[in-house]
Chains A and B, each alone.
Chain A
Amino acid sequence: MSNIAGKAYAMNVITPIRSRYSFINRWLFGKATKTPAALLGLVTLSLIHYARWVIIPRNSFPHLDASQPKEELNYDYMIFQSNFNGSWAQYVDSFTFAIPAGLDLFWKWNVRYPKSVPLTPFHDYIRHNQIDTCHYYSAYPMAASNDVKSAKVLKQALCDFDKASAGKPADEFLTDYHALLNAMQLHLGEMRPTPVVSMAAQAVKDRHSGTPEKVQGFKGANDSAEPVENSASSRTPPAAPLSSTDAPEYS
């Protein structure tokens, strides 16, 4: 189980919403998608891959087989799904700091929604209703959404430049190349592995991939409980073979 793959975090939150009000939420969602300015804050939060809200009426949950018992639900349910970069806290905090009013509008009719400010009740609400991700795959474990967006821009610009500059004299080429660099100057960040999102996530990852823990080798009296100079061989090997091409992600 992990909500994290590469640089991305998958969040699923399911919250009950009173049936008699859910049509208001649908109307709000519809209105928001038709007025881009309303979503400006969300779009501007550059750590977000995407965010999606869906309302499932209480009698519309998928019924896969006749043997599946029929649910008796008191509420409709709102599903919030998002993929983002960084830590859970950074994401939820950013939401609260940046667009508190928008959040309150989207969750307004949800049962026991505490409002996004103060922070702690909102944290608790999301944690309580979050469904952890069972399987999560990232095709680009070293890329944040910003990196993907930049790569797309950069690739197109390079292809265009390649076409346009064929056969140009050297000095003209250089001028054009400088102009290209200028136009691309905000898309040149390096791609390397993610920083450690949390100590807990790192510990799970290290245990799973068999790499030694990062805290090693120092001799501190207050760290006597900490493994000193632990080696990879003393660790449990990975439980399952990992794909050879990917960074050691776990499912």
Chain B
Amino acid sequence: MTSSVMERQAKVAGKTLNLSDIQGNVVRAYGHIGYFHARYLFFRINDPGNARAFLTRVAERVTNSAYADSKRNTRQTTSKASTNVAFTFAGLQAIELPAGSLMGFPQEFAAGMKKRMSILGDEGSSAPEHWDNIWQKEVHLWVSINGLSNADVEERYQWILRQNKDSGDGVELLSGHRGAAGEEDLMFQTGAILRDENGNPSGKEHFGYRDGISDPVFEGQPNAPDTVLGRGKLLAGDKWAPLAPGEFLLGHLDEAQEYPKAPMPRSLAQNGTFMVYRKLHQNVATFRRYLDDSAAQFEGSKEMLAAKFCGRWRDNGAPIVDAPDDAGKKCWDARFEAADAAEKRRMLTDFHYNDDIDGARCPMSGHLRRMNPRGSLEFGQKGAFNTPSALADRRRILRRGLPYGQSGPDTNDADDHGIIFMALNASIERQFEFVQQQWVNYGNDFKEGNDKEILLGNHTGEGKAVLQVEPGSGKPPHFLTKLPRFVECRGGDYFFVPGITALKMIAAGIVDPT
């Protein structure tokens, strides 16, 4: 097949994404339609027959991605709460998926997150023995509820429990989540958007950064042309294009012009994806103390230093490559205030590192640069690669998390607060695991040796990071030393999120790879 035919097919496939067959939160984050409250439930399958009966009932109300097409579906047309379902590999075994299908799943998914701890750097305080009790059990099934209010979530929760009871208790809700008051055995994990002092949703996480600004844009997402700047892939001439849908959805062509590795039959994989669920505890007190201490030695404001850690300013998310210091931030803010909504969005996402090859603005170990280096791995050698962002395009992930817990002014590290991190990708190994290992916990691709990413790295209190300054200025770079661990893993696993048809097939017990 010629490449032009493949390109055309990818385009057609992208434009005709069957949103009704893709589970909700995949094509568009639930936060965008006001689902600010969530509960994550984990089940064990005890009786496959009754579990299938339960899933058949639940599948009737599983939320799809149709709301993502805002032209046809507005917030008013969606219900007050959502329901979504995903399986661990052990869960697919427990529900008696045929061996021929099971063998088609990628090995890292089959192994599960715990066995990949060495790859993920889940060591020390992030090691599995410190994870919440629930992760000391065998988890089979993930059911999530997102809703407009806690009451809406509670109502759907009761409905789900009722379906299980009415279908013969085929699944068992597992306890073991840590809670805010030191509880160890809660029945579910809650998540909720953090609010500002006026009670409005802030979109921030516990360290004070605005989160979830530039998720990848892929072909077939409604409104992609408006949102692609800074969020798709970077082509020559500073042009942006949406990524291939197969980077995030099984059964669709990916950036390598092939279908992602997926189980048979095709209908089992179609419109499915893989989800990485991680409860990431944030050591908020340590973070605040470290920031304060470091700011005393830093030339610039404390907020500027916080922006260096992340690559964005904490108040409004201004990218530091465009607002490099306190003075630059003032100018940026003035332009931002005067801008309309579309321009605001552009200002937050449409940037790259072509004018910051030395990391003088966004440091090489800064969060943004490490998570999505855009075209910066060309190191200023324009035209070296097929496209400037070639080395980043196949490492992108969709982030679909929510914060959990509260972190007031007097909070300490022992409090239960952090982010429920959920990443969606077609290949956990190539995308999430690669980023976690090579870019978060190592630095060679950024020519930073073993220096880790500042915020997420699994620091042990010894590591350092270099905050580069303008080359030739004669000023020394700023060194962050004795980096403590700001974020630690408290559990999680790898899940398969089937398309709606596939979910109904699994529930009906009719998956047949022959």
Interface residues of A (CB under 8 A from B): 7, 40-41, 43-44, 46-47, 85-86, 89-90, 93-94, 96-101, 117-120, 144, 146-147, 150, 175, 177-179, 181-183, 185-186, 188-192, 195-196, 198-199, 202, 214-215, 217-223, 226
Which of A44, A178, A183, A226 has the largest number of chain B CB atoms within 10 A?
A44
Residues on A with beta carbons closer than 8 Å to the beta carbon of B115:
199, 215, 223, 226
- The answer to the question of B390 belonging to the interface, with a C-beta cut-off of 8 Å to chain A, is yes
**Shortest Cβ distance from residue B126 to the other chain A in the assembled complex, whole angstroms:** 12
Residues on A with beta carbons closer than 8 Å to the beta carbon of B386:
41, 97-101
Which of A7, A101, A190 has the largest number of chain B CB atoms within 10 A?
A190
Interface residues of B (CB under 8 A from A): 3, 90, 111-112, 114-119, 121, 123, 127-129, 131, 135-138, 255-258, 358-359, 364, 377-379, 381, 383-386, 390-391, 393-394, 429-430, 434, 437-438, 441-445, 447-451, 463-464, 466, 468-469, 471-477
> Do B121 and A195 have beta carbons less than 8 Å apart?
yes
Residues on B with beta carbons closer than 8 Å to the beta carbon of A220:
114, 128, 135-138
- Which chain A residue has the least Cβ–Cβ distance from B380? A44
Q: Which of B129, B256, B430, B447 contacts A186 (CB 8 A)?
A: B447
Contact A190/B463 with A93-B394, A118-B256, A195-B438 known, Cβ cut-off 8 Å = yes
Which of A43, A98, A177, A226 has the largest number of chain B CB atoms within 10 A?
A98
Residues on B with beta carbons closer than 8 Å to the beta carbon of A185:
358-359, 466, 468-469, 471, 476-477
**Shortest Cβ distance from residue A120 to the other chain B in the assembled complex, whole angstroms:** 6
14 A-B pairs (CB sep. < 8 Å): A7-B444, A86-B438, A89-B429, A97-B386, A117-B3, A117-B257, A120-B256, A186-B359, A186-B447, A188-B466, A189-B450, A195-B442, A214-B118, A222-B114
Alpha-carbon gap, A71 to B437, bound state (A): 46
> Do B137 and A221 have beta carbons less than 8 Å apart?
yes
- Which chain A residue has the least Cβ–Cβ distance from B107? A199
Residues on A with beta carbons closer than 8 Å to the beta carbon of B383:
40
- Which chain A residue has the least Cβ–Cβ distance from B363? A185
Which of A96, A117, A186 has the largest number of chain B CB atoms within 10 A?
A186
> Do A98 and B257 have beta carbons less than 8 Å apart?
no
Which of B394, B449, B464 has the largest number of chain A CB atoms within 10 A?
B449
Residues on A with beta carbons closer than 8 Å to the beta carbon of B385:
41, 44, 97-99
> Do B384 and A215 have beta carbons less than 8 Å apart?
no
Alpha-carbon gap, A190 to B233, bound state (A): 31
**Shortest Cβ distance from residue B360 to the other chain A in the assembled complex, whole angstroms:** 9
> Do A190 and B471 have beta carbons less than 8 Å apart?
no
> Do A182 and B138 have beta carbons less than 8 Å apart?
no
Alpha-carbon gap, A199 to B113, bound state (A): 12
Alpha-carbon gap, A38 to B234, bound state (A): 21
Contact A44/B114 with A186-B447, A195-B121 known, Cβ cut-off 8 Å = no
Contact A98/B391 with A90-B434, A214-B118, A218-B136 known, Cβ cut-off 8 Å = yes
> Do A46 and B90 have beta carbons less than 8 Å apart?
no
**Shortest Cβ distance from residue A48 to the other chain B in the assembled complex, whole angstroms:** 11
Alpha-carbon gap, A190 to B450, bound state (A): 5
> Do A189 and B138 have beta carbons less than 8 Å apart?
no
Which of B116, B384, B438, B477 has the largest number of chain A CB atoms within 10 A?
B384
Alpha-carbon gap, A85 to B463, bound state (A): 21
Residues on A with beta carbons closer than 8 Å to the beta carbon of B434:
90
**Shortest Cβ distance from residue A93 to the other chain B in the assembled complex, whole angstroms:** 7
Contact A215/B449 with A118-B256, A221-B138 known, Cβ cut-off 8 Å = no
